[in-house]
Amino acid sequence: MTTEAGSGEDATFVALHSAGTTGWYGPVTAEIGRYVEAILARPVVGEPVDDHQRLQATLCRATRADASTVASWAVGAVDCAAWDLHSRFARVPVADLLAATPQRRVPLYASWLGLDVANGIPGAAVERINRNGWQFTKWGLRRDPAADDREAEAGRLAEAARAVAAALRQKAAFDAVFTWDPKFAALFLDQLDPASVRWLEDPLPTFDLRAYGTLSTRLPLALGERLLLHADSEAMLGLKLQAFTLDVVACGGLTRAVDLVTAAHMLGVPIYPHGRSFVPAVHLAAAYPDAIAAVEYRLQWEPIRQRGYAQPWRPTHGVITVPRSPGLGATPRSC
């Protein structure tokens, strides 16, 4: 049910076989692949390929309420492979199964978390990114754990955020990459007008909704990447969020992501899917253009991941065009 393709940590592809046809999703880690084979492979045998709610229920029962990240990703990978298989039988792209008239061109925003702007503005990168037509950009804003003076460190990050906005001539989003705490966030807010940034994503080291609830009243907050299969989505979406950055595979797959997008849109929460699950996120955005403004394109990592696909996806001027061929578009290059 899984196969290795390419090299690196994410090199495993999940495959579902039916009537001589194969549905694919990947790459995922080898650990996720092992979970699929050990826990999920047997229960899905004989399930109808076009009944995604039934398959999702089967997968959830098989995990026995396992709340781990690996379990959630494994369920999501199998779910996305099932959508790929279904769309191959239907001879249409997955986006066409999700909506009667999906958009063919999906807007993107660019992120480059490897260039931490707190260590200086990468002028050449900013210039290049500004010319490529992205809706906006997102940058790393990590707190230095070795900094003794927390107030000075908060001031350094606030100044970096102001410098990025000046260099870009527009507001940017920032990702704290789980390196802050509530007290540090308060120090940061004392030195920067929250309205000057698009959002701050995942500042806290744990997915603590109570702490995030307090932060969301003052900070333009983005959450969703760590919303797993069995997590309380209602409580999270009830917060005052500037962006819901769900990961389509990590949340349990396209089947659950559709429900989450519908719920978020009804609450007026802006949705910007996380880039690690780029391919299914694009299909989702194409099907729900009124709810999803843009999908994250990770400049540092996505081009490398695309090398593992039989047909790589390449954006043009900040937009990706959904292929018209059947399937999801995540078939490994070696198959």
* Domain parsing of the chain, residue ranges: 2-91, 96-321
Instruction: Provide the pLDDT for residue 128.
Output: 76
Instruction: Locate 135 and state its tokens.
Output: 């809706």
Domain with residues 2-91, CATH architecture: 2-Layer Sandwich (3.30)
Give 51-66 pLDDT, tens digit per residue. Answer: 999 999 999 999 988 9
SS3 content of the chain, % helix, strand, coil (to 5): 40, 20, 40
Q: How far apart are CA 182 and CA 279, in angstroms?
A: 34
Task: Give the global pTM.
Answer: 0.94
Instruction: Provide the pLDDT for residue 119.
Output: 76
Task: Give strand pairing partners of 109.
Answer: 296
Query: Is 3.20.20.120 the CATH classification of the domain at 96-321?
Result: yes
Q: How far apart are CA 199 and CA 218, in angstroms?
A: 11
Q: What are phi and psi of 22, to 5 degrees?
A: -125, 135
Give 53-108 pLDDT, tens digit per residue. Answer: 999 999 999 998 899 999 999 999 999 999 999 999 999 999 999 999 999 999 99
Which residues, given as ranges, of the chain have pLDDT below 70?
1-9, 122, 335
